[in-house]
Amino acid sequence: MYTQCPECLTVYKLEAELLVPGCGCLRCSHCDAVFNALGTLAAHLPPEPFTRLPDHALDQDPPLADVAVFRPRPVVDEAMEPVEGTEPADEPAVVEEIGEDFSQLTFTPRFAKPRRRRSWHTAAWVAVCTVLVLGLGAQLAWAKRDVLVADPTIGPLIETGCAVVGCRLPLVSAPTRLRLLARDVEQHPSVSDGLLITASVRNDATFAQPYPVVTIVLSDANGQRLAMRRFQPEDYVGDAATRARGLAGGATTAMVFEVQDPGQRAVAFAFSFD
């Protein structure tokens, strides 16, 4: 197609797509004038020489488009009942005759019906993903339970939540947070060659921990070891329920140990917790 600038009479060759953005108006690249390209639109150039392309009147009624080549079928909603006189949505594609001329036959395709998304599928998938995420979080929390319980910020929150639901936190061993407050040694009241050693121990941690393994070392004035013994929790805590509860955070307990007297050379003793 061809059109002509009315200002500088420059003739341009163009495609129909070029007329769409400006609703038929173009800007002349020679004189920069804006003009309606439809006014001189021509399918072919007239024989040369020529000066102007024929002008078209643009103020007339729109012509009738009567040569149809395609007409799509309307999409019928699945929820709507079939209307009398219409074909079912699953009918095969049909050919509709527009005129007597076979060149005017149109093909009406059967469009794929949009499927409704099933909301319960989405809900089930979200529920499964939520369960998997919670399960993974529970496994990680169990693997890091000692760190979480011992944390001064998270530990109390976990303990409070556990008290609400009625569960019991696992005991976390932290022997470095056990502090020896007092200790004493005296002759055993009923065993002639025995000693009775008592110790007062405080749990400075904010969480309960199991009763430790206590190691007592007796030494002479030169620091030489004369005797050593390791006491398991069952050796100095007779009640099994008390051992299961552990030593509560901030609590103090008294420990009593019976050892054999190594003689007059033993003048010092030391405690350690494992």
Q: What does the pLDDT look like over 91-150, one tens digit per residue? A: 444 444 444 454 454 545 554 555 555 678 888 888 889 988 888 877 776 677 667 677
Q: Give the domain range for residue 28.
A: 1-60
Instruction: Residue 195: give its domain's CATH number.
Output: 2.60.40
SS3 call for 165: helix
Concatenated DSSP letters for 55-114? P--SSSPPPP-------PPPPPPTTSPPPTTS--TTSPPEEEE-SSSGGGEEEE--PPPP
Do 149 and 182 share a domain, yes or no? Answer: no
Number of domains into which the chain is organized = 3
pTM exceeding 0.75: no
Domain boundary among 20, 39, 60: 60
Average pLDDT over residues 169-197: 87
Q: What is the pLDDT of residue 231?
A: 93
Give the amino acid at 72. P
φ, ψ dihedrals at 207, nearest 5°: -130, 160
Residue 191 lies in a domain: yes
Instruction: Indicate whether 53 belongs to any domain.
Output: yes
**Which residue, of 60, 83, 104, is where some domain finishes?**
60
One-letter amino acid at 162 equals: C
Q: Are residues 55 and 123 in the same domain?
A: no
For range 34-46, the mean pLDDT: 87
Q: Can you tell me the distance from the alpha carbon of 98 to that of 144, in angstroms, rounded to the nearest whole number? A: 77
Residues 24, 43: one domain?
Answer: yes
Q: Which of 16, 43, 60 is the last residue of a domain?
A: 60
Is pLDDT at 183 greater than 80 in this prediction? yes
Residues 123 and 191 in one domain: no
Work out the number of other CB atoms within 10 angstroms of the CB of residue 247: 24
In a domain, 182, yes or no: yes
**In this predicted structure, which of 39-48, 64-73, 123-132, 223-232 has the lowest mean pLDDT?**
64-73
Q: Which of 26-40, 53-67, 225-239, 251-265 has the lowest mean pLDDT?
A: 53-67
